[in-house]
Amino acid sequence: MTNQFLVTSKKDMEDRGWEQLDFLLISGDAYVDHPSFGPAIIGRLLEEQGYKVGIIAQPDWRSTADFKKLGKPRLAVLVTAGNLDSMLNKFTAAKKYRSTDSYSPGGQAGRRPDRATIVYCNRIREIWKQIPLVVGGIEASLRRFAHYDYWSDSIRRSILIDCRADLLIYGMGEKQIKEVAEQLSSGINIAHIRDIRGTCYSADNLDHLWEDYIETPDFEAVSLDKYSFAQAFQTQYEEQDPIRGKTVVQRHGEAYIIQNPPALPLSTEEMDEIYNLPYQRTWHPSYDKDGGVPAIQEVKFSLVSHRGCFGGCSFCAIVSHQGRIIQSRSQQSIINEAILITKMSDFKGYIHDVGGPTANFRMPACSHQEVRGACKGRHCLAPEPCKNLSTDHSDYLQLLRTLRALPGVKKVFIRSGLRYDYLLAAKDSEFLTELCEHHVSGQLKVAPEHIAAKVTRLMGKSGKETYVKFMNAFKRTNEALGKEQYLVPYFMSSHPGSSLKEAVELAEFLRDLGYQPEQVQDFIPTPGSLSTVMYHTGLNPLTGEKVYVAKDPHEKKLQRALMQYRNPKNYDLVLEALVKAHREDLIGFEPKCLIRPRRDVANGKPRFGTAEKVIPSRKNAIKKQASRR
Ligand code: SF4
């Protein structure tokens, strides 16, 4: 019997009686046949269209041998770095190597090169110079124009120039790959495939562009001038709309990168078809010896209900990949998948998640979006919800009720992030009540990310007042239900706009909450996000306002330490941060103080300052404090 996975070896091809593939997929992730993994979706979709597809996952990039093992495909090679940008996958915010990689067998790090898309494409070009080469996935998608690269601290060219592919698919890619496959199989030369929405290509002139297009500052300008970079990003960001977005062009030397408008949103039927493909829902058996691929654990018993996000968080690039318009699966399709899950031998009765980028966005933000596109220069939710925003949670509620009533299901959790400002904007508290009653396992993770107004505004998040309102509503609801459940808020340090002053403000909020986060997330300037542009330019590209950015690693350490001010290991850093922020009033013995003064080794009296040095300006304050006591 042939195995039910996509072809990964010559033996698989022989078993199917295939001499040549139509499409060869190269992926930076291990092959997991599940709809949460991009290569599996693209491979299954092409297979369903009747194409012969093979996948080479995590080839050894140091030579061409692995890339050749399934032979030359008839139509094209498709390359992706995997579910994450390869640099983000490999490096921490401090630019150190991560010790594990959950998308690799056994969680082993080191199974992919830096800048995997470029490296894989170079190997392919060494083997087959003229073969049609198409790149896609998050790395290609978010690096499609000249972009800031945190790991090299430089502006890099469009990845399309560096990888020498013929076509770049941006966004989720299903519509695009179907059209690319159709055109290639009908004999059209890839150099002439220039009309597919959701793709970018390079050309040496713009004579063929008949429709309206916008040209952004070119690579040279954005490399030299931060205002030009911010301006280019603003155009790219604002035109990222399938309904009203225009073609966007950026010159790179003699070549032009041309981005066609985004792919149209998938209909519910199209979404259902994609999630209904015959995935095996696990890793390829060749990884059994390594203990499998850890990333599956997060999603194995979870359900994707939709794509897209109208939340507008500036540090997230989902808008540039999935767009602002929500695309949902039908309830029936999700329920069918849930039934499949309940039949899996290791299912213990718990559905881990039902959601998408934001769990409670099941429907488009408003009816205007589908006709006119999402508003340019306006957020749907923050700082205040738009008056046109539809806040109806009834479809999601109905779905959750059906899922938890399925035979074999003990509990359905919601683990995707919830937008609590959207939840609070709903006309009644029905959703919050059922959320607390049925879908929280003692702790609900939420992401206020910060509380200083200056920072939350730049983050595109609602402010402290909204979070406090939600905290109170959550508490009241649980009390009414007789449940003891807690919020676990996530906060981010050193986001653009956050100086030590704002970091201290956050620390004071944590003090008042009586909460110390166990883990602290430093802002990482990932490719393609609005916050990344702020980080690089010190400007908000949407308004032109100047933005403070903490770039110095030591200052970042201070901001991070403030969030865990109670940890004795952070004492010196917190002390230094408070002194630098002129907030010595928070060093002392009063309840509002974050830390106590250090005891002088010689006389046992309290003192301000680091272990090495007493800060002279504080000596009087110590005296005053001592005399008050
Ligand atoms: S009208 Fe309001 S809800 Fe609709 S897209 Fe515009 S900002 Fe968003």
Q: Which residues line ligand 1 (CB under 6 A)?
A: 310, 365-366, 368-369, 374-375, 378, 380, 386, 388-389
**What pLDDT score does 147 carry?**
98
Q: Which long-range contacts (CB under 8 A, 24 or more apart) does 471-474 make?
A: 473/424, 473/429, 473/432, 474/432, 474/436, 474/444
pLDDT at res. 540:
97
* Per-residue model confidence as pLDDT tens digits over 326-345: 999 999 999 999 999 999 99
Which residues are within 8 A (CB) of 10 and not within 5 positions of it... i.e. 6 or more apart? 69, 70, 71
Query: Are 161 and 202 a contacting pair, CB within 8 Å?
Result: yes
Mean pLDDT of 71-77: 98
What is residue 607's predicted lDDT score, i.e. its pLDDT?
A: 58
* Fold topology of 10-259: Rossmann fold (3.40.50)
- The pLDDT value given to residue 324: 94
pLDDT band at 94 (very low <50, low <70, confident <90, very high): confident
Note whether 126 and 64 are within 8 A (CB). Answer: yes
Q: Please tell me the predicted confidence (pLDDT) of residue 2.
A: 67
| Average pLDDT score over residue span 85-94 | 93
- Nearest Cα residue to atom 6 of ligand 1: 375
Per the structure block, which two tokens stand in for 615? 């800060």
Tell me 368's DSSP state.
Answer: H
CA–CA separation, 40 and 549 (whole Å): 39
- pLDDT mean across residues, the chain: 93
Residues 6 or more apart whose Cβ sits within 8 Å of residue 101: 89, 90, 107, 108, 109, 110, 111, 112
Nearest atom in ligand 1 to the alpha carbon of residue 373 is 5
Residue 381 has pLDDT above 50, yes or no: yes
pLDDT digits (tens, 9 = 90+) for 490-516: 999 999 999 999 999 999 999 999 998
What is the predicted pLDDT for the residue at 602?
60
Domain ranges of the chain: 10-259
C-alpha 293/C-alpha 279 separation (Å) is: 16
Residue 270 predicted with pLDDT over 60: yes
Tell me, what DSSP letter sits at residue 97?
B
Q: Which atom of ligand 1 is nearest to the CA of 368?
A: 4
Predicted local confidence at residue 624, as pLDDT? 47
**Number of the ligand 1 atom closest to the C-alpha atom of 390:** 3
**Average pLDDT estimate for 445-457:** 96
- The protein residue whose alpha carbon is closest to atom 8 in ligand 1 is 380
Structure-token pair, residue 393: 């949670």
The tens digit of pLDDT for each residue in 342-364 reads 999 999 999 999 999 999 999 99
Amino acid 408: pLDDT: 97
CA 126 to ligand 1 centroid distance, Å: 48
For the chain, the C-alpha Rg in angstroms (whole number) is 26
Residue with the nearest Cα to atom 4 of ligand 1?
366
Residues in the chain: 629
pLDDT tens per residue across span 395-404:
999 999 999 9
Taking residues 439-462, report their average pLDDT. 95
- Strand, helix or coil at 350? strand
For 112-137, how does the pLDDT look when each residue is reduced to its tens digit (9 = 90+)? 999 999 999 999 999 999 999 999 99
In this prediction, residues 200-227 reach a mean pLDDT of 96
